[in-house]
Structure 1
Amino acid sequence: MAARGNALRRRVRSLGGKLLRRYRLLPGGMPDGLGDDEALREASLDGEVIVYFPDTVDSLYQLRSWYGPLRELHRTQGVTVVCMDSRTAAALREESALPVVTIALDATLDAIILRSGTKLVLYVNFNPLNTAALRSRSAIHVSLLHGDSDKSVSVSNQVKAYDYSFVAGQAAIDRLERYTSLFDASARCIPVGRPSLDTDSVPRTPRSDDRPVVLYAPTWEGGQASVGYCSLLTHAEPTVRSLIQEGLEVIYRPHPLTGVRVPAYGEADAALRAQVEAAGSLVSTDRSLPQDFADADLLLCDVSAVANDWLPTGRPLIITRSTDPQAHDAGTELLGVVPRLAADDTAGAGRTARELIEHDPLREKRIELTEYYLGDTTPGASLQRFLDACRHLAARRDELWSRIQANEGITGPPPVTPTEAG
């Protein structure tokens, strides 16, 4: 009787899940699993590279920053984006100009990777759902992430799941060596710079006045307390008020995930948007990051990748200091060089920002750090390193997989997998 009851509950849960997916009523962050599996039963994917992105539309910003480099990679090696969420796939087809499929079942994914001869699988985050693709032995798995920062997530133990990590520069390797155990960062990390930002310079937007501009770009509240760097609740309102009173223009760039975990941050975001708009300043939700960079004379941000990406501008930078005692960063040299804004000092933020814009004593030091964090920032250099690294690893995969195939079925030591080959 109990077994029958359990079976009935499983059927109800299964039916409920199908209905929720069909009518798109799933909670935010949960992929709908409406896949193209039946159509892909005997199909193969063109090209050598898969980008695996099982997330929902909320996290699509992580992949958007890679559109440009991935389009270039598609021209040389062929790229298909594989999703687990049909809504995300629809958005990607509209935005990216890349081939996109939705796969719900692990068995479909396993078979199509092997059948297609996929050589590389790329990932832009550490989503636990990535394990569906990581099971494949026939491809090399590469973590790209979506920025280089001193957040503790940059040194997550999850990095060990991937055969290689493409990192921005030597700073990322040193950070992993310092904060991660049993991980050979020098062997497993390949510096490629930030190809997502490797474009020709964006011109400054014409303006009707010459007020200096401060870009305020806080991060979101984070998935757990240890990464609680967001300054919206502790710094934002008095800081923006001080900036405006000092006669500075403000560009507020909200993080796309603000408020998804803690509603209070969403409320603070809404209040700050109203404050900025009432002062005649700009809330940037539809502009590119390079455009916001081009229009700003100083960046004020939390511990995040935005700080490192700002370095090539050569302009001054302030990073907030979290008040959360549970928050821990993976600090590198930048956090010890640039000014830090504590919550108790927000009333003077405007004066500090103006002084740094007019007299920037740390400019040369930041310029020295740019190569350490990002490598060669000459236009085109980072993109070329990314393309070269993908081509090199595709050739390495062919060597390794040929050896594995030759060893299949032979008694003796277990076959060498790409991860074990380093």
Structure 2
Amino acid sequence: MPIVRDLGLALGLVKRSVRARRTRKQLAKRDLTLTAPRPGVVRVAVYFADGPVNLYQIRQWYAPLAHLNRTTPVAIVVRSPATMLALLSESPVPVAYARQVADLEAFVESQPIAMTLYVNQNSRNFQMMRYARMWHVFVNHGESDKMYMTTNQFKTYDYAFVAGKAALQRLGAKLWDYDLDRRAILIGRPQADHFAGALPYTPDGRIVVLYAPTWEGDRPAAAYGSIASHSALVPALLATGRHRVVYRPHPRSGVRDPDYRTAHEGIKRLIEEANRKDPAAGHLFDDGPDLGWQLAAADVAITDISAMVYDRLATGRPLLIARPVSPEAEVDEGGYLGSAEWVTADQASDIVRLVDRVLLDSDARERLDFWAEHHFGDTTPGVATRRFESAVALLESRWHEFAAQSPRPEASPSGDASEAGPDDGDDSHRD
């Protein structure tokens, strides 16, 4: 009923407002100078306007940014109080809190920023992008064949750091009049050089299966999530006694679809029950901040169409992909997905046989090796990090070239100083 729905929306707004006030009070008690960058040093800013629900997008950049910060000063610019609270304790590089536009202007004026990196397409990126005398660079938060990877928003940025040849082909096929040769710079996947986290279990001969589904999506064309449609695969693996399941769902799983959340909670309960029956099994529900050990340690990974496909692809290890059940979900099979090992919903209960098959299939391994090179180039450890830092150095040299041609500092752009970043609970960006 409309009245019930409206009451629910109103209650949600009140709860978010109370939570936001509580967060701001907590933040007011913290000494933000301890993690703030020193004036006059930052060359690379990383702009993150989202709330904590999307922290996974910036977390995966922590290690490459920390490595870059050894030679080129880096700072993350945060707009949300709740996000700032989180980064105070976990960011490996300095963090600038700029909730108001006036704070953002003060930060920009106090730093010799050569470029700003953006990990998503949040509409609030435009509050930073109005500043000239710096490059604006889209670095994204993953490599995939989602429709998000060819959005026309790429044209908004001066440059884009992309993974490899597959990304160039994707953009060239979709974007009109986009200068790939100059504006798209190949860096591979530097995150793969810094897989994070220690194993939370002791290897014991069990076959480790990572199940890393995405969320349900906000429109039919992006309905890639498998938690509800393929949930039979988890109990099938739990029942064997020879598999260890690591369940790492997308942080947004179930935020829009109650049935999807119910299926997600059901999988968590199954894992708890299986561990009670056999504590040595060591099945895991994993929602921690570290991402990397899961991809590197799993004998087989099962993912949806998402960046997790390509993060796993970079390891060259066996991979299965859950085929979306929605007929409207866009599946681009012109690239790796055309050669992938698929799991349909009606095959979910037969997952043990499929896992055994990909573990022993030499043809599948050869296909993985080919597509890993196509998407990421040289995946030798350390190469992508060097390519990322070389791309930063290239743009810094171009910055010096253009700055020398126009030495006068510009006036600060006008803006409403009352504009603020998102408070806790912001969900403005969902890809």
Please report the TM-score for the alignment, with normalisation by the length of structure 1.
0.82
Structure 2: how far apart are the matches of 1:287 and 1:87?
A: 16
1:331 shift after superposition: 4.1
**For 1:268 and 1:132, how far apart are their aligned partners in 2?**
38
Confirm whether residue 355 of structure 1 aligns to residue 357 of structure 2.
yes
Matches within 5 A, 1:44-193: 44-193=39-188
Match of 1:301 among 289, 292, 303: 303
Distance 1:211 1:36, change over 3 A: closer
Deviations 1:228-276 (A, max 9, x none): 100011112x111233345433211121121223333222211111112
Structure 1: how far apart are the matches of 2:108 and 2:142? Answer: 27
In the alignment, the residues of structure 2 paired with residue 366 and residue 398 of structure 1 have an alpha-carbon distance, to the nearest angstrom, of 41
1:346-401 deviations in whole A, cap 9, x for unaligned? 22222111122133431112112211111111111111111111111012112223
Tell me if the contact between 1:114 and 1:138 (Cα under 8 Å) persists in the aligned partners: no
Q: Secondary structure at the match of 1:183?
A: coil
Distance 1:52 1:220 in 2: 24
Picking from 286, 289, 292, the partner of 2:288 is 286
User: Tell me, which stretches of 5 or more residues in structure 2 are unaligned?
Assistant: 1-15, 33-37, 276-282, 412-431
Q: How many Å apart are 1:222 and its aligned residue?
A: 2.4
Amino acid in the other structure paired with 2:344: A
Structure 1 equivalent of residue 234 of structure 2: 240
Are the structure 2 counterparts of residues 22 and 386 from structure 1 closer, same or farther at C-alpha, using a change threshold of 3 Å?
A: same
Other-structure match for 1:315: 317
Q: C-alpha separation between the residues in 1 aligned to 2:52 and 2:195?
A: 28
Is 1:213 the counterpart of 2:178? The answer is no
CA 1:330/1:138 → structure 2, altered by over 3 Å: closer, same or farther?
farther
Once the two structures are superposed, residues 99-122 of structure 1 have per-residue CA deviations (whole angstroms, 9 ceiling, x without a partner) of 112113334424532442211101
Alignment of 1:372-383 (within 5 A): 372-383=374-385
Distance (Å, rounded) in 2 between the aligned partners of 1:208 and 1:232? 27
Kept in 2, the 8 Å contact 1:35–1:86? The answer is no
What's the CA shift for 1:179? 2.6
1:161 aligned partner, one-letter code = T
Per the alignment, residue 342 of structure 1 pairs with: 344
Cα pair distance change 1:206/1:128, threshold 3 Å: closer
Is the 8 Å Cα contact of residues 23 and 81 (structure 2) preserved in structure 1?
no
Rounded Cα–Cα distance in structure 2 between residues aligned with 1:82 and 1:243: 43
Q: CA deviation at 1:189?
A: 1.0
Whole-angstrom CA distance in 2 between matches of 1:47 and 1:362: 45
The alignment partner of 1:365 has SS state of helix
AA of the residue aligned to 1:386: F
Distance in 2 of aligned mates of 1:103 and 1:207:
43
Please tell me whether the aligned partners of residues 196 and 291 of structure 2 are also in contact (alpha carbons under 8 angstroms): no
Alignment partner of 1:265 is 2:260: yes
- When the two chains are superposed, the root-mean-square deviation of aligned CA atoms in Å is 3.1
Query: Structure 1 pair 94/243, CA: closer, same or farther in 2 (3 Å)?
Result: same
Partner of 1:181: helix, strand, or coil? Answer: coil
Range 309-318 or range 239-248, more displaced? 239-248
Instruction: Return the alpha-carbon distance in structure 1 between the equivalents of residues 392 and 28 of structure 2.
Output: 29
Instruction: Give matches, 1:379-398, under 5 Å.
Output: 379-398=381-400
Compare relative contact order (CA 8 Å, sep 6+) and give the higher one, 1 or 2. 2
What TM-score do you get using the length of structure 2 for normalisation?
0.81
Specify which of 251, 254, 275 is matched with residue 256 of structure 1. Answer: 251
Distance 1:132 1:158 in 2: 15
1:368 to 363, 367, 370: 370
Query: 3-state SS of the aligned residue for 2:250?
Result: coil
- SS of the equivalent of 1:82 reads strand
Q: Which moved more, 1:308-317 or 1:243-252?
A: 243-252
- Relative to structure 1, the CA distance from residue 45 to residue 153 in structure 2 (aligned partners, 3 Å threshold; closer, same or farther) is farther
**Residues 263-317 of structure 1: CA distance to partner in whole angstroms, max 9, x if unpaired?**
3322221111111232232212237332112331111110011111112333211
SS state at 1:178 partner: helix
Alpha-carbon deviations, 1:310-339, whole Å to 9, x = none? 123332111111111232144442101111
User: Partner residue of 2:5?
Assistant: none
Match of residue 14 from structure 1: none
Q: Distance in 1 between matches of 2:207 and 2:345?
A: 23
Question: Aligned equivalents of 1:339 and 1:102: distance in 2?
Answer: 44
What is aligned with 1:12? none
| C-alpha distance in 1 between matches for 2:194 and 2:203 | 27
Q: Which residue of 1 aligns with 2:12?
A: none
Higher mean alpha-carbon deviation, 257-266 vs 294-303, is at 257-266
- 1 CA distance for matches of 2:188 and 2:201? 30
Partner of 2:21: 22
Contact 1:316–1:363 (8 Å) recurs in 2: yes
Shift, 1:344, TM fit = 2.1
Structure 1 unpaired stretches of 5+: 1-16, 26-31, 38-42, 410-422
